[in-house]
Chain A
Amino acid sequence: MNGINPTLAFAIVTAIKAGVLIFVVVTAFAYLMLFERKLLAWFQLRVGPIWCGPWGLLQPAADAIKLVLKEDLTPATADPFIYKIAPALAVLTALMAYAIVPFGTFPDGSPISIANPNVGILFLLATGAIGVYGIALGGWSSQSKWPLLGAIRSTAQLISYELAMGLSIVGVLIIAGTTSLQGIVAAQSAHHVWFIIPQIVAFLIYGITATAETNRAPFDLPEAETELVAGFHTEYSSLRFGTFFVAEYINMITVSAIGTLLFLGGGDGPFVAQIPWLTIVWFLAKVGLLLFIFIWLRATLPRLRYDRLMAFGWKVLLPIAALNLLVTAAIVALRGHGI
């Protein structure tokens, strides 16, 4: 790096890291879809995709080619500018979270991540909060009935469940005494306790709200096929439809990764002291487990009624999350220290 402006060098290195990370995350998305289709098939005693490549492994590529080759339609009544940027906005906010996710540690102890800001968890909450714009603007700009209804449902649902999610996370922050993601992971491995044990209530609330935030079954009201055709993306076709799909699945991976970091000790696990590279294996295994639970829920549970969904968020989850936070804060205050 001699002779190069350090700021420029930093920018180039970060850009390369980001490029690699985006490639990895998008590939993970493609195989998450195959994983989901296979699992759903097995839950229903089917075989799932088997024709494209061995064991259906080339199915994601076939799907991608099909989507790209389809015609990209814009409805005549749509607002063309917003209609075109909405899917990009959705995938942009979904990918932004990966700027700070620590995937594990290198053998020299330095974390595998792009950045480690001291506001870590707030950054994740912020990207989650603006993730709703892709859906809201996409549904609005289509200028037709079902997408608008889907978008409005989605916005209301996200606003309602975001509060309980934020409160459930604050319990972990109080125990760990830091808002940095790497700090939270380090606190868990240093004290040999994953925060799922002292914060089991918060973990359950986080899991439920994360399912709602990613519009997954049983909270997939925004795209309820039986009532709204396909919800906010009804009018979208071709690659723009695919982009919304990418954003939804990347969000699923993101909330699983955050759950792993906050409650399951991140890359912590047996033998990590001897072999540091195992951290990334443990991290990915835990994320995979949470993703499996997501798909399991979809295969098992029927969709909620809309008023039940709202009542559950405001009258059950939010009070329990607030109570959990209060009890956690009281215990930490009485003990005089967190973990």
Chain B
Amino acid sequence: MIVLFWACALVAIASGIWTIASRQPVHSVVGLIVNFAALAILFLTLSADFLAMMQILIYAGAILVLFLFVIALLTIGSAPIETGRGRLAFQAAPSVAAGIAALVIMGAGLRVAWSPTAAGPLNDLGSVANFGQQLLTTHVFAFEATAFILLIAIVGVVMMAGRKELRF
């Protein structure tokens, strides 16, 4: 299991670097697919079966396909826009700040994970039945609130996109 963890962790990091380093946006999408696949396997090693499948089904299967759809349409036959680093200079300070914040959060997470008093996961929580039970009983408020937020987003998109008559 530990071999699987290290293999997937290394693949996840490498593909993450590939995602942000590649010049061609479609290569970034491919890197992100590999990253999601490695993450899903990591979830499986934590017996979070449901989460692993959702990672693939929703993120890799639906959201990333839409990304690819748009990127493929936009970049056909064109060179990357940013060729030098000059245009991105103003982003240096915010990204350093975000990086420091991410390190702090990661450090805090690792401290909790390694502390001996940390509560282990509930037995078999990751299975579909238990996950669904928890979602619709213990966490029902958060679940319904998320659904409501998504509904607002959908209504907003329809409002913005549907100025003219909707046609299919």
Q: Footprint of B on A, CB under 8 Å?
A: 7, 77, 79, 81-82, 85, 117-119, 122-123, 125-130, 132-133, 136-137, 139-141, 143, 148, 151-152, 155-156, 158-159, 162, 178-179, 307, 310-311, 314-315
Contact = CB atoms under 8 A, between A and B. Distances in A.
A46 B21 CA distance: 56
B42 to A, nearest CB: 15
B57 A133 contact: no
Interface string B49-88: 1101110110011100110110011001100000000000
B73 A152 contact: yes
Contacts of A81: 27
A148 B72 contact: yes
7 contacts: A79-B26, A126-B61, A136-B69, A140-B26, A159-B62, A159-B65, A179-B128
Interface in B81-116: none
B56 A137 contact: no
B127 interface: yes
B50 A119 contact: yes
Interface string B36-49: 00000000000001
Interface residues of B, number: 28
Contacts of B56: 126-127, 129-130
A129 B129 CA distance: 22
A140 B50 CA distance: 32
Nearest to B3: A7
B131 to A, nearest CB: 10
Which 4 A-B pairs rank lowest in CB-CB distance, beginning with the nearest?
Answer: A129-B61, A126-B56, A122-B53, A126-B57
Contact of B68 (A119, A143, A148, A155): A155
A82 B30 contact: yes
Residue of A122, A178, A310 ringed by the most chain B CB atoms within 10 A = A122
B53 to A, nearest CB: 4
Contacts of B127: 118-119
Interface string B127-148: 1110000000000000000000
A313 B168 CA distance: 11
Contacts of A117: 49
A82 B27 CA distance: 8
A307 B77 contact: no
A161 to B, nearest CB: 13
A1 B27 CA distance: 44
A18 to B, nearest CB: 16
A315 B168 contact: yes
A277 to B, nearest CB: 31
A307 B168 contact: yes
A119 B53 contact: yes
A139 B65 CA distance: 14
Given A119-B49, A122-B53, A151 B72 contact: yes
B33 interface: yes
A123 B73 contact: no
Contacts of B52: 119
A122 B128 contact: yes
Contacts of A158: 65
Contact of B168 (A123, A125, A311): A311
A143 B49 CA distance: 38
A293 B161 CA distance: 40
A87 to B, nearest CB: 14
B46 to A, nearest CB: 14
A136 B65 contact: yes
Contacts of B54: 122
Nearest to A309: B168
A155 B65 CA distance: 8
A85 B27 CA distance: 12
Given A129-B60, A133-B33, A155 B69 contact: yes
Contacts of B50: 119, 122
A156 B69 contact: yes
A159 B76 contact: no
B57 to A, nearest CB: 4
